[in-house]
Amino acid sequence: MLATNLKRTIRSFVIREGRFTDAQKRALKEYWPAYGIDADIPDNSDLNHYFNQRQPLICDVGFGAGDSLLSLAQQKPDYNFLGIEVYRPGIGAVLNKIQQLEINNVRIVNADAVEFIDKKMSANQLAGMMVWFPDPWPKQKHKKRRLIQKEFLEMVVKCMQENAILHLASDWQPYIKFMHAQVLQLPNQLEQLDVEMHPLGLQRPATRFEQRGMRKGHVVSDLFYRVSK
């Protein structure tokens, strides 16, 4: 776990719950026992324990509407996928789809990813992590709110296996440069890969944030790193 003086107290997200439909509320209540992992599980937990079978584990931080998360789980039934999200209506919608599509290799956590990864994940258990289109907090005074900081990356590396893949994506080029600069502060721990496709064969579907950025003329960039320990 990070030392107390390193733990971030500034949240990288603002919860805008918006419309929470009856169907989403019902799914959250009915399907959570089957597909949810409570945020108050024991510290340093083996998260594969919550899946039907032990398989390489991939974590999706901030999955939003969840379309990409579910697409990846269907692409790779021989992997387990853990989605972490704070937005409850989105979680309800995803739980509905998991049930309808009978997807068995996805589990959901409703929590702040920083706190959950720091406290609840045991070391060396992730085969991969993706953080796609996190809030770029573009104003100079808001940079401290960005999720991808050196301290967060240290937590991520701790939870990942040797040769695990970290995949970052953004349509805000200043944030791409910022994220890579944060990675460079962990020398010999994250090796950048000069590839266009995910080394594990995970094809990223276009997310809603990506589509919105492209409509605005933004350039989407992907960053791939291999964990070295």
How far apart (Å, rounded) are the C-alpha atoms in residues 36 and 84? 10
Inter-axis angle of helices 88-101 and 22-35, nearest 10? 70
**Do 89 and 15 form a contact (C-beta atoms < 8 A)?**
no
Establish whether 135 is a catalytic residue: yes
Q: Which residues contact 175 (CB under 8 A, 6 or more apart)?
A: 134, 136, 138, 146, 148
Amino acid at 120: K
Q: Which residues contact 100 (CB under 8 A, 6 or more apart)?
A: none
Out of 112, 135, 194, 222, the active site residue is 135
- The phi and psi torsions of 64 (rounded to 5 degrees) equal 60, -120
Tell me the catalytic residues: 135
